[in-house]
Amino acid sequence: MKNHVFKNSGIVLGLLGTVLIASSSFAQGLMPAVKFPGARKALTKAQASTRMSNSPTYTYTLIGYPGALDTQGVGINPDALVRDSDDQSGTATPAIKVVGAWSSSDGESQTGFLARVRGTNPVHETYDLLNDPQGSQVQQPYSINDFGQIVGDYYVGDIGGAYIFHSYELDGDTFTPLNVPFAGAVSTFSPAINNAGEIVGGWTDSAGNSHGYTLIGGKYTSFDYPGGQIQLYLSVNSEGHIVGSYADASGNVHGFLRRGNTFTSIDFPGAVYTASTGINDADEIVGSYCPTAQCLQTGGEGLQGFILKNGVYTTFTIPGEYGTALASINNKGVLMGNYYDSDVNAADTANHVYTFLATPTP
């Protein structure tokens, strides 16, 4: 089975990189609300309907970097209130901005992207490639705010079997490294940014232990979940509330919410693995969970998304697919996530990754 370069919802499928792709920008044009672009196989209406969530209250838009078989979205902007200066659509409709990465067909390179999505029927999309020119061949943006500030990371190698990443902030055309000043730090990963410009992320020390950090007003502060190690995919809302995941002393992964200095563990009822990956200003939280040990053993077979609202968990899944993960939620309740198709057990291929938006219908 060939390697995937995506780090999806806390389950690492593999990291390889051989090509750095130069930045470019183009428009994909008007598309229908449900689409499978690029080289993806066209579906009949009956087939397409089986790929939608059980909830009847969403309109779905599939996001795919043109020509790519694998696209993984990670973050969306909180409010989509500001019209882009480069909007050529002829309307004042604000854009939902999605950041993530796409993989080459051979699974050996990964490139960041920014997608601007307007409308639901029809849909207008534009795409930009995002790569820190000082970075490596494997890059991934993680988070974007309403002012267009983006944070991400890139893979630089491994030490003693541990993956090493360096993080960055992109503001306008300027990339700035996010280098934590903590003694023994060797890696920074999975950053997120809110509309106040506050940044959260993870860092790893020379002993291989992983921690969280905040960057507020130019000051870095480290934090740890009590008795746990911080994992991939953090998110922060406008109140400074942080969600992420941690591994306990037994290696089991749980989600968490941090308000001020108070931590609350997040565990989907009955799950063997829970990762919380997104939070909006109403403290609505999204993520993914494994309901069975087989899900962990296979790297995500049967992975389900969840929404946590007012203390109530709701499962979100794309029926018939190998796994579903929710990555982000904005202040209008728009969900962004990914699903993985069912060919993962084929001997000569890896499962393909598809990104979707789920927009609540009035």
User: Using H for helix, E for strand and C for coil, what is the string for the chain?
Assistant: CCCCCCEECCEECCCCCCCCCCCCEEEEEEECCCCCCCCCCCCCHHHHHCCCCCCCCEEEEEECCCCCCEEEEEEECCCCCCCCCCCCCCCCCCCEEEEEEEECCCCCCEEEEEEEEECCCCEEEEEEEECCCCCCCEEEEEEECCCCCEEEEEEEEEECCEEEEEEEEEECCEEEEECCCCCCEEEEEEEEECCCCCEEEEEEECCCCEEEEEEECCEEEEECCCCCEECCCCEECCCCCEEEEEECCCCCEEEEEEECCEEEEECCCCCCEEEEEEECCCCCEEEEEECCHHHHHCCCCCCEEEEEECCEEEEECCCCCCEEEEEEECCCCCEEEEEECCCCCCCCCCCCEEEEEEEECC
Asked which of 40-44, 109-113, 221-225 is least confident by mean pLDDT, the reply is 40-44
- pTM for this structure? 0.82
Looking at domain 7-360, its CATH class is: mainly beta
pLDDT band of residue 321 (cuts 50, 70, 90) is confident
Domain chopping of the chain, boundaries: 7-360
pLDDT band of residue 349 (cuts 50, 70, 90) is low
**pLDDT tens-digit map of 247-296:** 999 999 999 999 999 999 999 999 999 999 999 999 999 999 999 999 98
Asked which of 55-64, 78-87, 163-172, 175-184 is least confident by mean pLDDT, the reply is 78-87
The letter for the amino acid at 174 is T
Across 13-22, 78-87, 133-142, 349-358, which has the greatest mean pLDDT? 133-142
Structure-token pair, residue 13: 């499928």
CA distance 203 to 225: 13
The percentage of the chain sitting over the pLDDT mark of 70, rounded to a whole number, equals 77
Report the pLDDT averaged over residues 60-88.
79
pLDDT score at 16: 21
**pLDDT tens-digit map of 125-153:** 899 999 898 888 889 999 999 999 999 99
Nearest C-alpha neighbor of 243 from the set 329, 324, 178: 329
pLDDT score at 357: 94
Structure-token pair, residue 147: 């002012």
